[in-house]
Amino acid sequence: MKQKVSVPFMLLGILFNVCLIAANLLETKVIQVFGITVTAGLLVFPISYIINDCIAEVWGFRKARLIIWSGFAMNFFVVMLGLIAVALPAAPFWDGAAHFNFVFGMAPRIVIASLTAFLVGAFLNAYVMSRMKLASNGRNFSARAIWSTVVGETADSLIFFPVAFGGIIA
């Protein structure tokens, strides 16, 4: 069975996956913005929610689910590749091992926190977006996108930060 995939859907799916992987890698840096301490991944992660909203809006919840699962799989794949690279011995002349391991040698609790929080937050975002679209007869995209993102990101943060950094950051 041959199915066509539109170029915009494919490109948004790729961008969604890239944003998720970049957010996970950027999670290793803690930054301060206007006196608020967050991870650098928080800067790019909302973009994935906006993309998810656009996919749910145009192609529906079923296609949004497909992209969420692909994002989960690609995140898992990159984490596994990173762990393999960390496990391989570094060249004796290379002095970047500690920094490389810091970024790619994610602790198991970070991986579990990230993947769990992503699944819950992304599915909630797409679900709320789709339900609000039905309730509003397709009107008010901006409000739906904002509120679904608030719900998804709140759930993501409530899961990720306690699991990933509980007992580490005071």
Res. 1 pLDDT band, cuts 50 70 90: low
* Residue-wise pLDDT tens digits, 10-20: 999 999 999 98
* Contact of 43 with 66, CB cutoff 8 Å: no
Helix (H) or strand (E) holding 98: helix 97-104
Question: What is the CB-side half-sphere exposure of residue 79 using CA atoms within 13 A?
Answer: 20
- pLDDT for residue 42 is more than 60: yes
Average pLDDT score over residue span 143-169: 84
The pair of structure tokens assigned to 68 is 């969420």
**pLDDT tens-digit map of 56-107:** 889 988 999 999 999 989 988 988 898 899 999 999 999 999 888 888 877 6
The number of residues making up the chain comes to: 170
- At residue 151, the pLDDT reads 93
Distance CA 118, CA 125 (A): 10
The backbone torsions φ and ψ at residue 169, rounded to the nearest 5 degrees and listed phi first, read -105, 125
Q: Tell me the whole-structure pTM to 2 decimals.
A: 0.81
H/E element holding 33? strand 30-33
